[in-house]
Structure 1
């Protein structure tokens, strides 16, 4: 199974960055904006959210306050936004497993597409397989051989449905038993990798980046079909014998359902200007973030496409709901 990006056509209106409009005739925002991150602090999405809020601060009359509301694979925080007033003062930053969760969790209190207003896709989320430098393997091939000799004893960490699926899909294709070990954030996962408590884990380039220079962590593989510029020496899974392995996610900004399209365009325009700023782009590179800004129509198309992919995976039995 492969997730691929393709060129998308969208209306010129979605590209425009209009002058600030208002909910109810007043410029946005009228008060501090809550940006809900439905995952624990210190993970890749939290880091990006705080960087984005800081980049937007000079252009807005009120600050954006990042609020971590972790729980139930992102559902707890996402539900807050699904039930919020559509006035632009409560927003949500999520990873692509926001869509996948409907096939991974036994039940959800909202529809991940219908019950949110797409504002912008922000980044591409390449996942990397990391291991502590003290582990008895230094490559994906060596890890698989070690796992075969120690069935069920080489756990692979994950932080949400996508990284869990990537880890279990790799193990399935390699014919090994590697139990999934769930974490609340990439920061917590990386701490256990560094400490040697967790043999391997799949996480974002953002979560891995601060630890690579320490010499205590190795990147064994990337999840995509091409190497990431952030870890150019890390081979793909396909280069190491796992053919046609190309899986990645995204990070997006959503709002409550039924937001005024003009308000969506205003918020999206402000975020796009921040992401187009050269200094902010340099900061994204330093953080290990792959910029992939897309407006509402393109984000909606990506969400709908992912929904079809995960539905097919669930039907094939490659995604099973948690019990």
Structure 2
């Protein structure tokens, strides 16, 4: 029970106003003091075993320990992440249902005509957990050794490139390269990263854009030639490969980020506790080692900066979809 201390001489009208103000904030304040009282559900809108799922499990284990309650991973795959995102957007805003998302929050609004959630209004950023570098790699039979040479070849004939699917970051990044350089690039969508890389290795594609980790063995064996990584910094997995910015062909870096968000209406004290716990966990030496060993890259930013990154990405991909004339689904 809260005790209300009223200064001497305070009039009845002022007393009532003060009491109303305190009582209005009382439930949220009390909820924050006791939260969490039960396990927290972390929705991962992808199947088990993928990049988002693995990062979520590593991070969720440590977050649960920091909060004193288990974090339960709930995989809800389907519709390019939209099923899980909608579930969290409509969940009670009590801090017990969270979303572990990746770049789909920025790409899906650009490529889907109708979504039942708003990536910016319906979610509050908690933490940017990790990212995965992406790379551009060609079949070794293609007579190019640099990204600049690839673009030059693409101005003389149409090149086919593969990605994990329509509307994914790699698909849109290829279109961004085409828009910025005038190269003729034809997109070939696949249902996931593995089949796209398989066809690139087999010579059915001129090049592929995808996360770097699955490409590394093929690059090391000479079955693929990596021309550039798309992030702002070189990848630890492919340290000899330049970034797209180093090549001076494209000025926009791109990587696949993974992060935690809550429903937007979660009480501020609960959100702040979540953000503080997440920030603490991201400094954990063991977690950093596990993520790095699994091929993730770490770059700590504030929740506000994470939110701004989502907004910038959404604006960029919307512009690319419009300028490239990509038909929205």
User: Does residue 283 of structure 1 match 2:300?
Assistant: no
Offset from partner CA, 1:155-183 (integer Å, 9 cap, x none): 32135532211112223445444332334
Shift of 1:73: 2.5
For 1:155, what is the secondary structure of its paired residue? Answer: strand
> Matched residues in 2 for 1:29 and 1:185: separation?
38
The corresponding residue for 2:34 is 26
The corresponding residue for 1:119 is 126
Which runs of 5 or more structure 1 residues have no equivalent in the other structure? 1-20
User: Does residue 128 of structure 1 match 2:128?
Assistant: no
The corresponding residue for 1:8 is none
The corresponding residue for 2:189 is 182
The corresponding residue for 1:320 is 326
The corresponding residue for 1:231 is 238
Shift of 1:129: 1.6
> Matched residues in 2 for 1:183 and 1:158: separation?
5
Which structure has more RCO (C-alpha within 8 Å, separation ≥ 6)? 1
Q: Which has the larger radius of gyration?
A: 2
Q: 1:38 aligns with which of 45, 55, 61?
A: 45
Could you tell me whether the CA contact under 8 Å between 1:91 and 1:255 is conserved in 2?
yes
For 2:282, what is the secondary structure of its paired residue? Answer: helix
Distance 1:191 1:312, change over 3 A: closer
Instruction: Give the superposed CA RMSD.
Output: 3.4
> Matched residues in 1 for 2:326 and 2:278: separation?
36
The corresponding residue for 2:95 is 88
Distance 1:295 1:236, change over 3 A: closer
> Matched residues in 2 for 1:270 and 1:94: separation?
18
> Matched residues in 2 for 1:302 and 1:120: separation?
12
User: Does residue 298 of structure 1 match 2:305?
Assistant: yes
Offset from partner CA, 1:230-286 (integer Å, 9 cap, x none): 322112334446243433453221112301122112222222222101222122222
Shift of 1:55: 3.3
1:158-169 alignment, distance < 5 Å:
158-159=164-165, 160-169=167-176
The corresponding residue for 2:269 is 262
> Matched residues in 2 for 1:188 and 1:22: separation?
51
> Matched residues in 2 for 1:47 and 1:211: separation?
22
| Most deviating of 253-262 and 195-204 | 195-204
User: Does residue 108 of structure 1 match 2:111?
Assistant: no
> Matched residues in 2 for 1:198 and 1:279: separation?
39
Distance 1:79 1:111, change over 3 A: same
For 2:52, what is the secondary structure of its paired residue? Answer: helix
User: Does residue 55 of structure 1 match 2:43?
Assistant: no
Shift of 1:294: 2.6
Which runs of 5 or more structure 2 residues have no equivalent in the other structure? 1-28
> Matched residues in 1 for 2:32 and 2:244: separation?
51
> Matched residues in 2 for 1:28 and 1:265: separation?
13
> Matched residues in 2 for 1:184 and 1:70: separation?
14
Offset from partner CA, 1:114-164 (integer Å, 9 cap, x none): 011221122345321235668776554565566667636x23213553221
